[in-house]
Amino acid sequence: MAFVQNFPFMSIILSLFSGPLCSILSGRKAKWVNAAVIVIIGGMSAAVLGFVLGTGQEYVYTMGHFPAPWGNEIRVGVLEAVMAVFFCVIMLLCMLGGIREREEEIEDTKQNLYYIMVNLLLSSLLALIYTNDLFTAYVFVEINTISACGLIMIRQNGRTLVAATRYMIMSLLGSGLLLLGICFLYDLTGHLLMSNIREQVALIHANGSYHIPLLVAVGLMSVGIAIKSALYPFHSWLPDAYGYSTLSSASILSSLVSKGYIFLLVKIFYRVIGFDIVRDSKVINVLFVFGIVGMIMGSVSAIKESNIRRMISYSSIAQIGYIYMGFGLGTTAGIVASIYHIVSHAATKALLFVAASGITEVSGDSTDFFDLTGAGYRNKLSGIAFTVGSLSMVGIPVFSGFISKLLFAQAGVGVENTAKMLPTLIALAISTVLNAVYFMKTVIRLYTPEKKAVLEKKEFKQVKMTEEPAKSFALICFIVLNLFLGLSSEPIIRLIENGLNMFA
């Protein structure tokens, strides 16, 4: 075994044990430990990606001395390595972009606690990406939930406590359904390793026996993860959680946490059940309907918002709808489009939250639309970054969002079930128009010159790039990443297709 094959397991362990280490450090030292851990894990993940691409095949890493089906396994392919690298990059940029806000909004005595939660969250995301054991995935889903709650409520301003409570309630409901589905599968197959479960599920499906229990198991796990990832109408916790938590928390939650759950669902569809069996079930039809409804209703809610951060939060609900609509198409092209949208949306949403922070900073720390008038002139980089993110969300060419919508449209046209083609294209058109309404409305507000007398009365300050180098660096990196995904999408799409072939 090559030494690099140990890196996925080492990444999970490193981030897991760096959490307790931060508990005995000061906030400043914990910050540097957290940054170092993310960079090291990102480097190891890149090495794993290079190894898997070089060998052209996935590999299984067995932990301990117990072979399958009793032991625990990590399964690593192209898609897992790509997602691990991408998650590390996004998390590092989110942490860089929110340094000032963390220092201002989190008490000094709780700074190290914040980095404990971030490290545990990273560990859980990596475990969801790499694990080949369904119950291990559930354990880290719960670690993910607890860490996310900590990130929300550590900024104690009243609203975050309510938001964290709502998030916990909905997440526990989703976790319960997921666990019930796992129990059903264990009862049917006698296994917890994904590859072993799939072998037994294939036999059960071929025999035509236990069809209803298998359908129930797939439905329970799908609905459980849909609830945890805020698919409409299970989204009530999301606007407050994203809108009132500290900047780094909002960026990480919106770009990574829900995407980790969705990636687990992809693994369940391919590695646990088998996508052909999932496609034959009615579960994907339900996901398709709720995905389309979420695309429309999330955007409608965003239009009605007068708070920029809550508007971005409601936009996330619409984008989650896109992903589930792609799943609901029941084709490989739909899954590829959804996974690409996971990447595109994660990069764009984090960009929007960090840019919105810079905009509100020069607007008297107000998130109200009226106070944002002319903010694009007072903080030029944040204004440009928000414009780039907005154009990407609308789907303008050269930005990553355009590629996502193009892939969804192509998948919709190519679907065998013609009853899904027209709703897909109509929903894409309506959602795009709605996206343009609320994002372009905001961009126009940012670049509407405000009267000098009003500016003097409100005493809005101006911010230059050099005054906040970390945030400026993060914004520039996000802009470059968005343009890269929009202009050089083919290599990413090929990696996704290659990874799905390994899954299958």
pLDDT in tens, 326-337: 998 888 888 999
Tell me what pLDDT residue 41 has: 93
Q: pLDDT band for position 68 (50/70/90)?
A: low
The torsion angles phi and psi of 74, rounded to 5 degrees, stand at -115, 135
Q: Is there a contact between 351 and 399 (Cβ–Cβ < 8 Å)?
A: no
H or E, element range at 61: strand 59-63
For the cut 70, the answer to whether the pLDDT of residue 294 exceeds it is: yes
Element (H, E) at 501: helix 489-503
Q: What are phi and psi of 415, to 5 degrees?
A: -70, 140
- pLDDT at res. 179: 92
d(Cα 89, Cα 68) in Å, to the nearest integer?
A: 33
Positive/negative CA dihedral, 124, 128, 129, 130: positive
Q: What is the pLDDT of residue 361?
A: 83
**62 backbone dihedrals φ, ψ, rounded to 5°:** -95, 125
What percent of the chain has pLDDT above 90?
Answer: 25
* Token output for 372: 């944002």
- Please choose, from the candidates 166, 100, 173, the residue with its C-alpha nearest in 3D space to the C-alpha of residue 141: 173
pLDDT over 60 (residue 316): yes
Which amino acid does the sequence have at 132?
N
| Maximum C-alpha span of the chain | 78
Structure tokens, 446: 């940012």
Between 463 and 337, the more confident residue is 337
- CA 284 to chain CA centroid, Å, is 20
Q: Is 453's pLDDT higher than 50?
A: no
User: CA-CA distance, 141 to 119, in Å (whole number)?
Assistant: 14
- For residue 278, the model assigns a pLDDT of 84
State the Cα–Cα distance between residues 409 and 406, nearest whole angstrom. Answer: 5
Q: Which residues contact 457 (CB under 8 A, 6 or more apart)?
A: none
The rounded mean pLDDT for the chain is 86
Residue 199 CB neighbours (<10 A): 14
What is the reported pLDDT for 458? Answer: 58
User: Mean of the pLDDT values across residues 306-313?
Assistant: 87
pLDDT tens column, 187-202: 888 888 888 888 888 8
Alpha-carbon distance of 183 to 224, in angstroms, equals: 13
Q: Residue 451: its pLDDT value, please?
A: 62
Average pLDDT (28-34) is 86
DSSP track, 305-346: --BHHHHHHHHHHHHHHHHHHHHHT-SHHHHHHHHHHHHHHH
What distance in Å separates the CA atoms of residue 291 and residue 425, rounded to the nearest whole number?
Answer: 13
Q: How many CA atoms lie within 13 A of 22 on its CB side?
A: 28
Main-chain phi, psi angles of 274, to 5 degrees? 100, 125
Say whether pLDDT at 289 is over 50: yes
pLDDT band at 149 (very low <50, low <70, confident <90, very high): confident
Mean pLDDT throughout 94-101? 86
Nearest partner of 332 among 504, 205, 485, 217, judged by Cα: 504
The residue with tokens 């919709």 is 412
Query: Confidence band (pLDDT; 50, 70, 90) for 463?
Result: low
**CB 89 within 8 Å of CB 2:** no
| Predicted pLDDT of residue 421 | 86
Phi, psi of 66 (to 5 degrees): -110, 115
CA distances to 226, 288, 292, 302, 389 from 295, in Å: 14, 11, 5, 11, 18
C-alpha angle 472/386/400, rounded to 5°?
100
Task: Give 61's strand partners.
Answer: 74
What is the average per-residue pLDDT within 105-127? Answer: 87
Report yes or no: 291 and 324 within 8 Å, Cβ to Cβ: yes
- A 10 A CB-CB count for 338 gives 26
pLDDT at position 86: 92
What single string gives the DSSP state of each residue in 273-317? Answer: I-HHHHHHSSHHHHHHHHHHHHHHHHHHHHHH--BHHHHHHHHHH
Q: What is the mean pLDDT of residues 359-374?
A: 80
Rg (CA), the chain: 22
pLDDT at 482 over 80: yes
Q: Residue 71: what pLDDT?
A: 67
Average pLDDT for residues 107-126, to the nearest whole number? 88
Average pLDDT over residues 163-177: 87
Q: In this model, does residue 97 exceed pLDDT 90? A: no
Give the global pTM.
0.91
User: Is the peptide bond preceding residue 69 cis, with omega within 30 degrees of 0?
Assistant: yes
Distance CA 226, CA 87 (A): 20
Average pLDDT of 224-244? Answer: 85
Structure tokens at 335: 């899954």
Predicted pLDDT at 180:
92
Q: How much of the chain exceeds pLDDT 70, in percent?
A: 95
> What's the rounded Cα separation, in Å, for the pair 265 and 226?
9
pLDDT for 90 beyond 90: yes
Closest by CA to 496, choosing from 90, 82, 16, is: 82
3-state secondary structure (DSSP) of residue 109: helix
pLDDT tens-digit profile of 388-404?
A: 999 999 888 889 889 99
Classify residue 421 by burial, with Cβ atoms within 10 Å: 0-12, 13-18, 19+: middle
- Decide if pLDDT at 460 tops 70: no
